[in-house]
Amino acid sequence: MEKKPDRIPLASMEELNVEGSPQPQVKFQDSSNEKDSDSCPTCEMQRSTDTTNTPLHLQPSGFRPLPSKPPVYDRLNLVFLILMLHGVGTLMPWNMFITAKSYFVDYKLHVNDTEVSTEEYRAHFLSYLGVAAQVPNVICNALNIFVQFGGGTLTFRIIGSVIIEIIIFIITVFLAMVDSSAWPGIFFYVTMTSVVVINMANGIYQNSIYGLAAKLPMKYSMAIVLGANTSGTFTSLILILSIAASPNLRTAAIYYFITALFVLLACVDTYFALPLIRFYRYYDRVTQKAITDNRAASTRPPYCKIFWKTWVQCFNVFFVFFVTLTIFPAFHADIEPVDKNFIIPEKYFTPVTCYLCFNFFAMMGSLIPNWIKWPGPRYLWIPVVLRILMIPYFMLCNYKPDKRLIPVLIDNDWAYFGMAVALGLTSGYYSSLAMMYAPGCVETEHAPIAGMMAALFLVLGIVCGVNFTFFISWLVETKLF
């Protein structure tokens, strides 16, 4: 009786190269002989029809071909799900601190204090939080590309960063349990310091996990974007349930932070499971072999060359998040309903039409590239640039009706809600495409660096968009003509 193959996708002893077992041979197939690219899930890059005199690592189309017939597949989508979980983990710290805004502003800092500074902290808490989070995040994203922490291994960077985040969340939970009413100023500075440290670690973590995904077929970069948007949807639902149940602010915040703690612990656990999966081991070896072969010619990655090949996709990533973060959440959240009898009650209008709507449809948009990848890498910049028209559209909605000096031209709540859906859907879809295309622009050994560069421009887009929101708000509240 023939023995059935194992259903659990764990690596065999040969694949783990135990006791000197031979390394697997990586075979590539010419794309001109390929009749149906859909027959193999890894044949996702654009390939040239003429590869006779072209080096194997890079075809004339500008995209490296992947192995045409890998010996193993991602059974049960385990690698995809693990990277999706890490996508959740990259945004969980930020989302949980934002969700716990009422805990900080209305509980911890809402004390009978005569000092003016305490009221200043309460009034501009989210602004301070944004600066403390995004500035160290973008700096560490950039450093992670050029500085080889831990000898250049991604494992040290990813696990080390997540462990730091776990420690900070434990401290945050402890602070929630103690009475800080006698020292609100100290509590504020301790909180901001913890935000700085956790986002320094998160910058390295986020950048490294995109570099790791770049070793795999391009849909695995999409898995991280999908996970990040799933994280936003999850926290939006928590916010709505909190409003409905009206729990104790301190208790709710503790639950938020403990939830993030368990998600990060799951990220650590699943990361160590990756090398046991045949699919991941195969692509990791392909990349390591390419890096080893390249070391004889160069000891340092050619950063300028890599950027020159990926700058279009880096721009696409940057501009998608620049437009998105210009509108969401600060500008988006201050749009009020025109019709007080709108189907969504006023109490839930912003949580539903802003937070839940954006995050849910961004998550849906991140799923679409599983089936549709249009436009291709050459023309993706066109719809990405056209998204800038969304900014004046939202400016003409009912944003800050008591302060605005320009007229409200879009006075239909359904028209506003429809564009809110489009904002989330296009943000998730185009950001996923750009993050998927970027690693394919370079040779196999440079794909992790290309993925990290794309992640850096993602954070740059967020930082620039968040700050550009202030200018858009000023335009609405100022009569120039």
Taking phi first (over 0 means left), then psi (-120 to 50 degrees means alpha), and beta for anything else, what does residue 335 get?
A: beta
> What are the tens digits of pLDDT across the range 71-83?
678 989 999 999 9
Return the higher-pLDDT residue of 16 and 341.
341
Share of the chain above pLDDT 70, in %: 81
**Long-range contact pairs involving 29-35 (C-beta distance under 8 Å, separation at least 24):** 29/67, 29/68, 29/69, 31/59, 31/65, 31/68, 34/68
Q: How confident is the model at residue 343 (pLDDT cuts 50, 70, 90)?
A: very high
Lowest mean pLDDT among 114-123, 172-181, 324-333: 114-123
Measure the CA–CA gap between 233 and 245, rounded to whole angstroms: 18
Whether the link from the prior residue into 375 is cis, omega within 30° of 0, is: yes
Q: What is the pTM of this model?
A: 0.78
Over 50: is that where the pLDDT of 174 sits? yes
Contact between residue 121 and residue 265 where contact means Cβ atoms under 8 Å apart: no
Query: Can you tell me whether residue 158 is helix, strand or coil?
Result: helix
306: Cα separation from own chain's centroid: 21
Given a cut of 50, is residue 92 above it in pLDDT?
A: yes
- Give mean pLDDT, residues 291-299: 67
- Note the pLDDT of residue 39: 35
**Distance of alpha carbon 171 from alpha carbon 260, whole angstroms:** 13
Higher pLDDT, 49 or 273: 273
Is the pLDDT reported for residue 439 higher than 70?
A: yes
CB contact burial 349-367 (16+ within 10 A = b; e otherwise)? bbbbbbbbbbbbbbbbbbb
Q: Give the residue with greater pLDDT, 153 vs 348.
A: 348
Give me the pLDDT at residue 112, please: 67
Checking if the pLDDT of 69 tops 70, the result is: no
pLDDT in tens, 203-227: 999 999 999 999 898 889 999 999 9
The DSSP 8-state label assigned to residue 11 in this structure reads: P
pLDDT of residue 98: 79
Residue 246 has pLDDT above 70, yes or no: no
Tell me the CB-side half-sphere exposure of residue 129, using CA atoms within 13 A. Answer: 20
Q: Say how far apart CA 15 and CA 453 lie, in whole Å.
A: 31
Q: Which residue has the higher pLDDT, 57 or 106?
A: 106
Closest CA relative to residue 9, chosen from 74, 67, 69, 60: 74
pLDDT of residue 55: 35
Q: Three-state SS for 112?
A: coil
- At 361, is the pLDDT very low, low, confident or very high (cuts 50, 70, 90)? very high
The one-letter amino acid at 425: L
**Angle between the N-to-C axes of helices 184-213 and 219-245, in degrees from 0 to 180, rounded to the nearest 10:** 150
Task: Determine the Cα–Cα distance for residues 36 and 34; give it in Å rounded to an integer.
Answer: 6
C-alpha to C-alpha distances, 308 to 89, 193, 302, 305, 311, nearest whole angstrom? 30, 37, 10, 5, 6
Take residue 424 and report the two structure tokens written for it.
Answer: 């989330």
Give the pLDDT band of residue 37 (cuts 50, 70, 90): very low
CA distance 481 to 474: 14
Higher-confidence residue of 370 and 65: namely: 370
Q: What are phi and psi of 286, to 5 degrees?
A: -60, -45
In angstroms, the CA 148 to CA 47 distance is 32
Tell me which of 10-24, 158-172, 338-352 is least confident.
Answer: 10-24
Q: What is the pLDDT of residue 253?
A: 85
Phi, psi torsion values for 442, nearest 5 degrees: -125, 175
- pLDDT band at 355; cut points 50, 70, 90: confident
CA angle 52–291–433, rounded 5-degree value: 70
Instruction: Please name the residues in contact with 406: beta carbons below 8 A apart, sequence gap of 6 or more.
Output: 395, 396, 475, 476, 479
Please report, for residues 94, 153, 227, 228, 240, the alpha-carbon distance to residue 231 in angstroms, rounded to integers and kept in the order given.
10, 27, 6, 5, 15
Residue 296: pLDDT over 90: no
Q: Give the mean model confidence (pLDDT) for residues 430-452.
A: 91
The CA-atom distances, in angstroms, between 91 and each of 59, 154, 166, 190, 234 are 36, 19, 14, 21, 11
Higher pLDDT, 204 or 2: 204
Closest residue by Cα to residue 213 from 24, 58, 87: 87
Closest CA to 446 of 129, 215, 143, 162: 215
Distances (CA, A) of 9 to 15, 73, 74, 275, 289: 12, 9, 8, 11, 23
Cα 399 from Cα 336, distance rounded (Å): 6
Q: What's the pLDDT score for residue 71?
A: 67
